[in-house]
Structure 1
Amino acid sequence: MATIKITTESVAALTKSAVPNKTTFYFDNELAGFGLYRTTTGTGTYFAEFRPVAGGSKKRLKLGRVGTLKANEAREAARRAIANAALGKDLAQNRSDERASLTVEELVSKYIEEYVAEHKKASTAGLYRMLLKKHVKPRLGSIKATSLTRVDVQRAHALMTREARVSANRAIKLLSAAYGWGSRHGHVQEGMNPASGIKLNEEEGRERFLTTAEMLAIGNAMIEAETIGLPVDAGTTKHAPKGQLVVMSPYATAAIRLLMLTGARLREILNLRWSEVDLERGVLRLPDSKTGKKTVFLPTAAVDIIKGLTKLGSYMIAGESAGTKHEKPRSDLKRPWAAICKRAGVNGVRIHDLRHTFASTGVGDQMGLPVIGTLLGHADPSTTQRYAHLADEAARRAVEAIGGKIAAAMNGGK
């Protein structure tokens, strides 16, 4: 046993020192009962040691691993544990009782509301709540968090996969993150994570680009949809007799055109407020996109589309609640997009593929990948590398054109 002042610096130095040949305890020289121990694997764990007010032997409460918990955080946690013990509160027993009663649903919900909602984007928290409700809760939600096994998780993943392969993977990753967080905060035993090591479904990168003919067909279908109208059986609406023509909202078609013309993400257009539109400079100024603050550049065609829209509320793409006290942005474009694709005879194209089409068109016109990355708002240049093979094709066409002109010049124009 050794006595040191436990600080970030002293713990870092201790971690870099030789691994002990037996578990070694270090007590803080300021806060009695606060300490850490290192095992023969080099792992360090903070703890609080105290004697219950009712008497009896000392109890030791693990606070968290060195590296996961900061020294000052561990000190504060130890101070609370020791103070509560002096008041007759047994935090170790309370924590054990909580672990015994917490279900998987409650653990994941705690993780989302107490961590994700505070540190991540609202859209991320929303996605996690959906995964919890749709995948985790129905299959694992009622199981005690401390009783869940890897076999339970693997079976649940297999059932999730029958509905959605990719979402099944996302649900397991959420579960794993929740257990990692829960382990660090005492909701489950330290190091427990039954979702770790689960074999996930293979995910293939999907790239679908619209051809020139498909873009023309979609353009014609949108004109028909917003003027003459499309048949109800094309998926335009749920509230009209089949066969009847329904004129599509100009805001829906405008949103689709803007996605095609700018390469923006769906929510960047649907969540866009009029206050973020700068037509004088031809840009959209997004305060908080997927990659943070972002500027979307508008071609003349996009500026003309926006100028043609009537302001009905705070959001440029007006939804059903436009102009009301509790206005919300439009939720999605699934039905209008499906109707337009059906009318155009275009299959297997997602809304997100319009972003791929924008990028592939730019690369095909011999624009450099850095330029495309800027237009798409990629924070990491490596993300744009998915279009590198298209850049190679563009470079080949360019060298063929240049070489042809030089060869003709050398041959006297022949």
Structure 2
Amino acid sequence: MRGRRRKQAEGLPNRVYKRSNSFWWVRTTDQKWIKLSREAEGETRMLARLAEEKRKIEVDVSTGSLPRLVQIYMTDHQARYADSFRKEWIRRGECVRTAFAHWDIEQVDAGAIDDFLRQNWGEKLSSLQAMHGWMSKFFSWAVVRRYAIVNPCREVSITKPKIRRVYITDHDFMAIRQALGMYVYTKRVNGVEKSMNATVPTGAMMQVFVDLCYLTCQRSTEIRHLRWSQVDYRKGVIHFVPSKTASSTGEAVDWPIIPSIASVFDRAKSIGVHSEYVIHDHHGQPKTDAACRDAWRDGKRRAGLEDRPYTVKDIRAKAMTDAKRQGYDLDALQIAGAHADRATTAGYIKSRDIPVSTVKLDLPSTSNA
């Protein structure tokens, strides 16, 4: 939408307008209306915000056009991503801006992109695929906006990472779970070494976290950000809206509060300070991904399983694989996992549930020659 031509002077800077009791600026690069401030905040605040927005698109002779366009793209699109992923998405964009700081968008071809990806993530296929996807979306936007003629990412071939086939055995799962809350150490008492048990301060909450990840088949992010307001005791369900698909498919699921889950909630209520989050730290804030990852790693070490490739994300895969083995079909598991695509559910199971052949043969008999 283009800025309207003023019929009379209002004493405002060029391309700045008043609308809905606020000051708005029509950005020159894409004609988008940018809210600067409320009228009540005064003209000084408006001018400061205008200068801030203009700096974002100013042409710096020491830099190329690509980093400037990447910044515009990031500003316009970051709100589309869930909070849990937004920081990572922005970090990827900053990697692109830094690497191509002196490039104009017309200079970037398939070879430049291939060199950038291989040199930085050649052996890390998951990261390489993620960065390729980020850049491909950016160049698609640039083509639509007429900043570029073609999307050079389409010519870059990417090897998909191997399917993860890690399955946590029941024994190892329970060993790590126990080690999250308690560990054994040796202490000399009256000249005799004795085994002593010690409690991990954050262990009880981490056990609640692990239990809910398994019992609900949800992503660890959904469990870390689970609020008590989502726990509907009246209807007997937990309302889950997966953050990963909140801005796309929006798949949601209501999970029944069965006795085993209700018991976990009762434990959670007795731990730490009062919080709106089920899983929280000693300040009442949701536990971070790093905190849960570190606690899981320490639990593996105390359980003597530090050499196993188990991660927190493998808990969900184990839960869905176990459910399949208990007789639940793919339709039920697709609903449980809040997957928009049935193939995604099948992938979770097939990669970890190794089939057993029913073919039985005997050596051929010489009488049949």
What TM-score bracket applies, with the shorter chain setting the length?
0.5 to 0.7
Instruction: Look up the match of 1:110.
Output: 72
Instruction: Look up the match of 2:262.
Output: 303
Is the CA contact (8 Å cut-off) linking 1:263 and 1:375 kept in structure 2?
Answer: yes
CA distance in 1: counterparts of 2:163 and 2:141, whole angstroms: 29
Matched, 1:313 2:272: no
Instruction: Look up the match of 2:15.
Output: none
CA distance in 1: counterparts of 2:232 and 2:185, whole angstroms: 32
Matched, 1:192 2:150: yes
Aligned partner of 1:362 among 318, 323, 337: 323
Change (3 A) 1:330 1:111: same
SS in 2 for 1:350: coil
Matched, 1:221 2:179: yes
List alignment gaps of at least 5 residues for structure 1. 1-76, 79-96, 231-243, 397-414
Aligned partner of 1:136 among 79, 91, 96: 96
SS in 2 for 1:340: helix
Matched, 1:342 2:293: no
SS in 2 for 1:367: coil
CA distance in 1: counterparts of 2:333 and 2:356, whole angstroms: 14
Instruction: Look up the match of 1:15.
Output: none
Aligned pairs for 1:177-188 (under 5 A) are 177-186=137-146, 188=147
Q: CA RMSD in A?
A: 3.3
Larger Rg: 1
**Deviation larger for 160-169 or 383-392:** 383-392
What TM-score comes out, normalization by structure 2 length? 0.66
Change (3 A) 1:365 1:395: farther
SS in 1 for 2:218: coil
Matched, 1:260 2:201: no
Q: CA deviation at 1:335?
A: 0.5
The one-letter code sitting in structure 1 at the alignment partner of 2:103 is I
Is the CA contact (8 Å cut-off) linking 1:251 and 1:309 kept in structure 2?
Answer: yes
Change (3 A) 1:287 1:245: closer
Change (3 A) 1:253 1:109: farther
Change (3 A) 1:328 1:146: farther
Matched, 1:159 2:119: yes
**Deviation larger for 177-186 or 97-106:** 97-106
Aligned partner of 1:373 among 318, 334, 340: 334
Is the CA contact (8 Å cut-off) linking 2:238 and 2:257 kept in structure 1?
Answer: yes
Is the CA contact (8 Å cut-off) linking 1:264 and 1:296 kept in structure 2?
Answer: no
List alignment gaps of at least 5 residues for structure 2. 1-29, 32-57, 187-197, 359-369
CA distance in 1: counterparts of 2:85 and 2:60, whole angstroms: 26
Aligned pairs for 1:3-22 (under 5 A) are none
- Number of residues paired by the alignment? 279
Instruction: Look up the match of 2:237.
Output: 283
The one-letter code sitting in structure 2 at the alignment partner of 1:301 is S
| Cα deviations by residue, 1:326-359 (Å, 9 ceiling, x for unpaired) | x565344111010111222331011111111001
The one-letter code sitting in structure 1 at the alignment partner of 2:76 is E
**Deviation larger for 289-298 or 153-162:** 289-298
The one-letter code sitting in structure 2 at the alignment partner of 1:164 is K
The one-letter code sitting in structure 2 at the alignment partner of 1:108 is V
Aligned partner of 1:148 among 92, 108, 115: 108
Is the CA contact (8 Å cut-off) linking 1:112 and 1:125 kept in structure 2?
Answer: no
Is the CA contact (8 Å cut-off) linking 2:180 and 2:298 kept in structure 1?
Answer: no
CA distance in 1: counterparts of 2:126 and 2:211, whole angstroms: 28
The one-letter code sitting in structure 2 at the alignment partner of 1:317 is I
Instruction: Look up the match of 2:314.
Output: 353
| Cα deviations by residue, 1:100-142 (Å, 9 ceiling, x for unpaired) | 975433323322221342x444445433212223x42443344
| Cα deviations by residue, 1:158-191 (Å, 9 ceiling, x for unpaired) | 12214732112211211121111012123x23x2
Instruction: Look up the match of 1:273.
Output: 227
Q: CA deviation at 1:395?
A: 12
Is the CA contact (8 Å cut-off) linking 1:221 and 1:340 kept in structure 2?
Answer: yes
CA distance in 1: counterparts of 2:334 and 2:101, whole angstroms: 41
Change (3 A) 1:245 1:159: farther
Percentage of pairs with the same residue: 18
The one-letter code sitting in structure 1 at the alignment partner of 2:237 is V
CA distance in 1: counterparts of 2:234 and 2:177, whole angstroms: 26
Matched, 1:202 2:160: yes
SS in 2 for 1:378: coil
SS in 2 for 1:196: helix
SS in 1 for 2:105: coil
Q: CA deviation at 1:245?
A: 8.0
CA distance in 1: counterparts of 2:59 and 2:151, whole angstroms: 17
Instruction: Look up the match of 1:169.
Output: 129
Instruction: Look up the match of 2:193.
Output: none
Is the CA contact (8 Å cut-off) linking 1:318 and 1:329 kept in structure 2?
Answer: yes
